[in-house]
Amino acid sequence: MDRIRIKGGRKLHGTIPISGAKNATLPLMIASLLTEETLILDNVPRLADVGQLQRILGNHGVDVMVGGKRPGETPYDGQTLHISAARIVDTTAPYDLVSKMRASFWVIAPLVARMGQARVSMPGGCAIGTRPVDLLIMALERLGADIEIDGGYVIARAKDGLKGGEIDFPKVTVGGTHTALMAASLARGTTVIENAAREPEVKDVADCLNLMGARISGAGTSRVVIEGVSKLSGARHRVLPDRIETGTYAMAVAMAGGDVVLENARADLLQAGLDVLAEAGAEISATNAGIRVKRNGAGIAPVEVVTAPFPGFPTDLQAQLMALMTCAKGTSHITETIFENRFMHVQELVRLGARIRLDGESATIEGVAKLTGAPVMATDLRASVSLVIAALAAEGETMVNRVYHLDRGFERLEDKLSACGAAIERIAG
């Protein structure tokens, strides 16, 4: 297993290119199952999760062709995928594939919508709480699917196709909203989704579905209306920039100090996160190239933050913010409302000298004057990158073990940071 070694104490200066969003890419790839024509996706990040989803789609009979290099392309430019689900040969998504990545469960929606049946293993993924799929199943039932649970599999059937319906989510769910959008696009009649997730990735997927011929309005708001169509076609769509990667590097700059342009980043996708960073003392400005983040000299100010669905502060940046607050001049409070058990980074940050107290869903972080490098263990995707952020400011050497979590969601993290002056290297293991 690879490890990452970081020597702390260097400021970051330069440019970090922001990749396409993982959380849009995955549902966009899954949406390819809705049509027999080719879906072309540009700006796809090179991530382990993308490769894993390629294998899952391959099992259904989908061909994925990765476009070759173009003149003038840099190693950081996203890839182009040509995805063709001309013939779906298998409507089962087996345990050994789905258990590696939770989002792959979402294939259930296009499979049942187009093929009238799907058999998909209950998911696995990051170990952050129980993360049930009851609301995804409820959405499919509202569209007329018959659901049976058997041997760890969810079996969905709609012999005569899905029918439009009312879906009122009792809780905001990103996966539930993606599932409902995809299924309703090919259902007969009108579907109304209430309390839909407003995440930019939901809007990105809806935009792509509309290019494919779907009739979706209101995506990006909490009420989405879908007029079902009988067939969808191919399309070409560019994945939006990753706001979580953006926020992560912005926090890295705030932590280490320096001046970095996050190229291609969009401030409108991350206002709540950028506001918190500004409050913490970073200087943030939108430029033509992206977002510029600076912290020179000033200390880090403590903050009070509660995670919330978009447009609130994202749970996917909670661990990174906590890493930053370990060195604040004062006491911070961070409350996690989306996932239970999403504090696995706390013990590891404490190994670096952080002072953090947990009380249910809230963490109290007393800023310390300095962190000290130590061996630490990455436990999930966002937790592991929080350890990297902490290590950038820690005195001495930190070795982050089990970095395969990082590779699921961050493209060439060590290259992007070392290009800005960080002393960070991957040690193949």
Selected from 75, 132, 299, 375, the binder of ligand UD1 by CB under 6 A is: 132
Instruction: Kindly give the interhelix angle for 243-256 and 318-325, rounded to the nearest 10 degrees.
Output: 10
State whether the Cα torsion 135-140-144-145 is positive or negative: negative
Q: Are strands 215-217 and 223-227 parallel, antiparallel or unpaired?
A: antiparallel
Is residue 141 part of the contact set for ligand UD1 (CB under 6 A)? no
Selected from 33, 34, 103, 219, the binder of ligand UD1 by CB under 6 A is: 103
Residue of this chain nearest to ligand UD1 (CB atom) = 175
Site for ligand UD1 in 284-323 (CB under 6 A): 315-316
Q: In this structure, how many other beta carbons lie within 10 angstroms of the beta carbon of residue 357?
A: 12
Q: Could you tell me which stretch among 125-133, 277-285, 292-300, 385-393 binds ligand UD1 (CB under 6 A)?
A: 125-133
Q: Could you tell me which stretch among 9-17, 34-42, 128-136, 151-159 binds ligand UD1 (CB under 6 A)?
A: 128-136
CA–CA gap between residue 369 and residue 415 (Å, rounded): 28
What are the residues whose beta carbons fall under 8 Å from the beta carbon of 355, sequence distance 6 or more? 326, 365, 366, 367, 368
Is residue 102 part of the contact set for ligand UD1 (CB under 6 A)? yes
CA separation (Å) from 87 to 62, 84, 102, 319? Answer: 7, 8, 24, 42
Please, what is the end-to-end C-alpha distance for the chain in angstroms?
5
Is residue 192 part of the contact set for ligand UD1 (CB under 6 A)? no
Is residue 29 part of the contact set for ligand UD1 (CB under 6 A)? no
Selected from 85, 135, 251, 256, the binder of ligand UD1 by CB under 6 A is: 135
Nearest approach, Cβ of residue 312 and ligand UD1 (Å): 10
| DSSP per-residue letters across 59-96 | HHT-EEEE----TT--TTSPEEEEEE-SS----EE-HH
Which residues are the active-site residues? 126
Q: Give the CA angle between residues 49, 128, 341 to the nearest 5°.
A: 160
Is residue 204 part of the contact set for ligand UD1 (CB under 6 A)? no
Nearest approach, Cβ of residue 226 and ligand UD1 (Å): 19
Q: Is 256 helix (H, G, I), strand (E, B) or coil?
A: helix
Nearest approach, Cβ of residue 134 and ligand UD1 (Å): 5
Is residue 339 part of the contact set for ligand UD1 (CB under 6 A)? yes
Is residue 247 part of the contact set for ligand UD1 (CB under 6 A)? no
* Shorter beta-carbon distance to ligand UD1: residue 47 or 186: 47
CA–CA gap between residue 158 and residue 174 (Å, rounded): 23
Q: Give the CA angle between residues 370, 373, 376 to the nearest 5°.
A: 125
CA–CA gap between residue 143 and residue 73 (Å, rounded): 44
The pair of structure tokens assigned to 355 is 């002072």
Is residue 174 part of the contact set for ligand UD1 (CB under 6 A)? yes
Nearest approach, Cβ of residue 372 and ligand UD1 (Å): 30
Q: Could you tell me which stretch among 71-79, 174-182, 186-194, 326-334 binds ligand UD1 (CB under 6 A)?
A: 174-182
Q: Where are the alpha helices (DSSP H) in 143-242?
A: 174-185, 200-211
* Shorter beta-carbon distance to ligand UD1: residue 16 or 135: 135
Nearest approach, Cβ of residue 102 and ligand UD1 (Å): 6
Selected from 6, 41, 136, 413, the binder of ligand UD1 by CB under 6 A is: 136
Selected from 11, 131, 266, 351, the binder of ligand UD1 by CB under 6 A is: 131
Q: Could you tell me which stretch among 154-162, 168-176, 221-229, 355-363 binds ligand UD1 (CB under 6 A)?
A: 168-176
8 A C-beta contact, residue 180 and residue 193: yes
Please work out the total of residues on this chain that contact ligand UD1, with binding judged by CB under 6 A: 20
Give residues in contact with ligand UD1 (CB under 6 A): 23, 26, 102-103, 129, 131-136, 171, 173-176, 315-316, 338-339
